[in-house]
Structure 1
Amino acid sequence: MALSSDRQSRLQRPPSTVTDREGRTVTVSAYAGDSEPLVEMYAHFDDESRSQGLPPRGESRQREWLEGLLEDGLNVVVRHQGDVVGHAVLIPYDDTAELAIFVRPDYQLAGIGTELIRCLLGHGQEHGLEHVWLTVARTNRIAMNLYRSAGFETTAHKRGEHEMERDL
């Protein structure tokens, strides 16, 4: 799957500061800190905010999950007034990486996910990644639209999920 240079040039490398649709100024930056700010963000996720079992339920399971993401992945966060309100990660596997993205429920649908994914992909590109894939629940139309707008294409359908991918 080859992307046009136009799509590749739209990737933003962190840091990036933008104003969301609610008028909030947020900053997207690479993240290599400890898990505490992320644990605090994920405390705002209820059952309706979870997809495909993520983020895990319970603080101890979240901490374990986050330690793995922070150790193995390329992480990017969005902050508003010092609080982490979005988190995205690329987990490298050989010549590709899996993408996961989460925006705190009260910050969704404001354009934060779009900027977060653009910065994450730019961060991955900057670190030499060439290909990214993800899975998304077939019923999660908002996420599917976000991924399509970021250049992802559906490549497989599996048991209620779509697999999507793109080149960087």
Structure 2
Amino acid sequence: MTDGRLYPEEPAGSFPTPPATVADREGRSIELRTIDGGDADDREALVEMYVRFDPTDRAQGIPPTGEDRVRDWIETIAPEGIHVVAVHEGEVAGHATLVPESDDPEAIEEPAGITWELAIFVLAAYQQAGIGTHLLEHLLGHAEGLGVERVWLTVERWNAPAIGLYESVGFERCGTESFEQEMAIRLA
């Protein structure tokens, strides 16, 4: 199955898998772990993080603002998505997710057969501390272990720090649309 995107021919290197505890650049102990998008407590932890999310850090309209809209969005992406969170002192400080490009539950059971869209968000107080890199690497490692092969994302073309982060783990630029840069990676 092809989605029309150009994916790198060679898989990126392997990535670490959660759970893990890392120290960020500020010396904070950050726990990286998977969550179950179908679990009400895990979804509630995401809602709490996104309600605290600075609206000026939103990209391409997500995450939404307002608790009700955040809950609706989490309900949309959580059940079938693959999720890794960064936790500091019991609170979610960052979230990386892969959302399947299929509504067919049978297709999702075979993750190599579909493509997955990546989204990553880190609370402002934790940005520029390396947490995004850890989240991204551990999400890709977890996805790789589940059999995911093709991941893509879009990022605003002016967001050089995000593009640099994605390129540092193996994403390649593969297309553009107006103000968005499309990037893709192939996992082993």
What is the TM-score normalised by the length of structure 2?
0.84
My pick for the range that moved more, 25-34 or 127-136, is 25-34
The amino acid that maps onto 1:51 is A
Q: Following TM superposition, by how much is the alpha carbon of 1:12 offset from its aligned partner in structure 2, in angstroms?
A: 0.9
Pairing partner for 1:118 from 124, 128, 137: 137
Is the aligned partner of 1:155 residue 2:155?
Answer: no
Contact kept in structure 2, 1:76 and 1:87, CA below 8 Å: yes
Is the aligned partner of 1:71 residue 2:90?
Answer: no
Quick one: higher RCO (CA 8 Å, sep 6+), 1 or 2? 2
Give the distance between the partners of 1:45 and 1:27, measured in 2 at CA: 19
Is the aligned partner of 1:140 residue 2:159?
Answer: yes
- Structure with the higher strand share, 1 or 2: 1
The amino acid that maps onto 1:2 is E
Q: Deviations over 1:68-119 (max 9, x none)?
A: 2211200111100110000011112252110000001110000000000000
Q: Following TM superposition, by how much is the alpha carbon of 1:157 offset from its aligned partner in structure 2, in angstroms?
A: 1.1
Is the aligned partner of 1:131 residue 2:150?
Answer: yes
Is the aligned partner of 1:8 residue 2:13?
Answer: yes
Percent of aligned positions that are identical:
48
Q: Deviations over 1:11-66 (max 9, x none)?
A: 01111110000000101111113321111111222231111001001111100110
Give the distance between the partners of 1:47 and 1:82, measured in 2 at CA: 23
Contact kept in structure 1, 2:51 and 2:70, CA below 8 Å: no
Give the distance between the partners of 2:114 and 2:72, measured in 1 at CA: 25
Give the distance between the partners of 1:158 and 1:80, measured in 2 at CA: 36
- 1:81 maps to 89
Aligned with 1:88: secondary structure? strand
Contact kept in structure 2, 1:44 and 1:105, CA below 8 Å: no
The amino acid that maps onto 2:28 is R
* Paired residue total: 165
Q: Following TM superposition, by how much is the alpha carbon of 1:135 offset from its aligned partner in structure 2, in angstroms?
A: 0.3
Contact kept in structure 1, 2:54 and 2:123, CA below 8 Å: no
Give the distance between the partners of 1:46 and 1:143, measured in 2 at CA: 17
The amino acid that maps onto 1:8 is G
- 2:110 maps to none
Give the distance between the partners of 2:125 and 2:10, measured in 1 at CA: 33
Instruction: Please list every run of 5 or more consecutive structure 2 residues that lacks an aligned counterpart in the other structure.
Output: 1-7, 102-112
Instruction: Please list every run of 5 or more consecutive structure 1 residues that lacks an aligned counterpart in the other structure.
Output: none
Give the distance between the partners of 1:14 and 1:46, measured in 2 at CA: 26
The amino acid that maps onto 2:54 is D
Root mean square deviation, CA, Å: 1.2
Give the distance between the partners of 1:161 and 1:77, measured in 2 at CA: 25
Is the aligned partner of 1:102 residue 2:121?
Answer: yes
Give the distance between the partners of 1:45 and 1:140, measured in 2 at CA: 18
The amino acid that maps onto 2:97 is V
Moved over 3 A (4+): none
Give the distance between the partners of 1:64 and 1:164, measured in 2 at CA: 27
Contact kept in structure 2, 1:24 and 1:80, CA below 8 Å: yes
